[in-house]
Structure formats: C-alpha cells, structure tokens
Amino acid sequence: MVLDTFMYLDYSEAREGASLDEIVSSLRNHPDYGGGGIHYGEYRILQEAVKNEEVGNLRSGCQSFHMGYDRGTAACIFQSPDKKSIYVVYRGTGDGEWMDNGIGMTSAVTIQQKKALSYFEEAMEALEPGSGCRVIVTGHSKGGNKAQFVTMETKYDNLIDACYSVDGQGFSEEAIAEWKERYGKKEYRKRVQKLNGIHGENDYVSVLGNSIIPKEQIRYVKTPVEKTDFAGYHDIK
C-alpha cells in the first residue's frame, strides 16, 4: 500500500535504481511534495514509511514512462537490494483512462489492461527473476484492476506469488466467462487463488463490476475520514 501511494506522486524523474528513501529525500524541498504542495499528503506518508529500512531500501526501476508507455499506464518496479523480492506497482486511473474504466465493465478486455500486461511481461523479461524471487503485483483503484488482470492473463503467471488489489474494481461477465473457458476450472482457480483484496470499509470502487477475488482473501480496513467526505472513502491516503 505504501508503494501504491508512491505512484500518486506522479514523479517520473527518479533515477533508475534509486532507493525509495533517496527519492523521498530528494523531494524534501520540492514545492509539490515536501514543500506542502499538491502531493504533500502522499509525501508525508512515504516520509514516515521509509524510516523502515526494509521499505526505504527498495530500489525503483522499469518506470513505464521511460519505457515508451503513455501516462495512463503509470507503472513501476521496486526491488529489494538482495533481488529476492520484486513489487510491480500500477497507479490508479491516469490520463485518458476514465472511458477505459467504463469499457472494462462491459468488455472482456480494454486497451489499458492490454498495456498493463505488456508492461509486466516486458519488465519480467528485462529483470529475469530467478526461482527464489518473490514477485508481488499490486495497485490501487484501476491499478488494482490492472494487477488482477495481469495475474489472470500473463504467460509468466508462474512468477507471480501474489496480487494485492487495493480498492480495485472487478470485471465484466464476458471477461470472467472467457477466462473460465480458456483455462478450465483447475487453472482458473489456481490463478484466482493468487488474488487478494484490501478494501476500505465504505469504498465505492471495489464493488463495481464482478469481483473474482475469493471472499476469504478480502480484508476490510477502517477509512479515517469524515462521513461527509465521500471522495475520501476511496482515497488511498
């Protein structure tokens, strides 16, 4: 969830291989971040989180913007220094993606879901994670939907240990029927078992579409906002 929060900084200038601690430190005096600007809320969460060395030492790489993907794709890799853990992180709805969200409720696949899959497979081919490496796919909101889609679709599903969708929406009946027909009951269930949900108690996006996350693998968390703050129920902060 910390890495999902990072994606909302919309910061694509980070040096490849920079640690999360180094990135946060470099933004201390930036007017949009540590300076109290538009992304100050996310920055403060990250500033606190990187005090934990396990989080702060994670190194960024494979930024989608540097790989030729559009702003809507917005994905990044974080890797532990020993290269035994890889986190593939997708941002929530980005530039030009609102219509894509609606298409995902009625169609088997969308353009942005395809781009998320292409990014994941390109990143895995570049990193070549070994058998002892743990790969986690995650994202918030539409990023959570993309993380689920990648887990269900990729030819490198054997590399994925788990998917964590934070307030991510579900899928169309067409998408689910296509997966069940393509994979058969056993393989479909194998992929679905890797999906986990983390949802705000009053989130209004995770209930959209048809959920394929096993109910026993969804955990609900308190959302500390005023009852009148409707948008806040979906805000990852």
Q: Residue 197: beta bridge partners? A: 165, 218
**How far is C-alpha 177 from the geometric centre of its chain's CA atoms?**
24
**How far is C-alpha 163 from the geometric centre of its chain's CA atoms?**
9
What pLDDT, on the 0 to 100 scale, is given for residue 136?
98
| Percent of the chain whose predicted confidence (pLDDT) is above 90 | 90
What pLDDT, on the 0 to 100 scale, is given for residue 3?
97
What pLDDT, on the 0 to 100 scale, is given for residue 125?
96
Cα distances (angstroms) measured from residue 58 to each of 50, 113, 123, 235: 9, 26, 16, 24
Tallying the residues shown for the chain, one arrives at 237
Handedness of CA 217, 74, 60, 53 (dihedral sign): negative
Identify whether the C-beta of residue 46 lies closer than 8 Å to the C-beta of residue 20.
yes
DSSP string, the chain: -HHHHHHTT----PPTT-BHHHHHHHTTT-TTTTTSSTTHHHHHHHHHHTTSHHHHT-EEE--GGGGT--TTT-EEEEE-TTSSEEEEEE-SS-TT-HHHHHHTTTSS--HHHHHHHHHHHHHHHHH---TT-EEEEEEETHHHHHHHHHHHH-TTGGGEEEEEEES---B-HHHHHHHHHHHHHHHHHHHHTTEEEEEETT-SSTTSSB--S-GGGEEEE---S-TT-TGGGG---
What pLDDT, on the 0 to 100 scale, is given for residue 148?
98
What pLDDT, on the 0 to 100 scale, is given for residue 22?
97
Residue showing tokens 């590399």: 159
Regions of the chain where pLDDT drops below 50: none
Give the C-alpha separation, 199 to 132, whole Å. Answer: 30
Task: Indicate whether this model's pTM tops 0.75.
Answer: yes
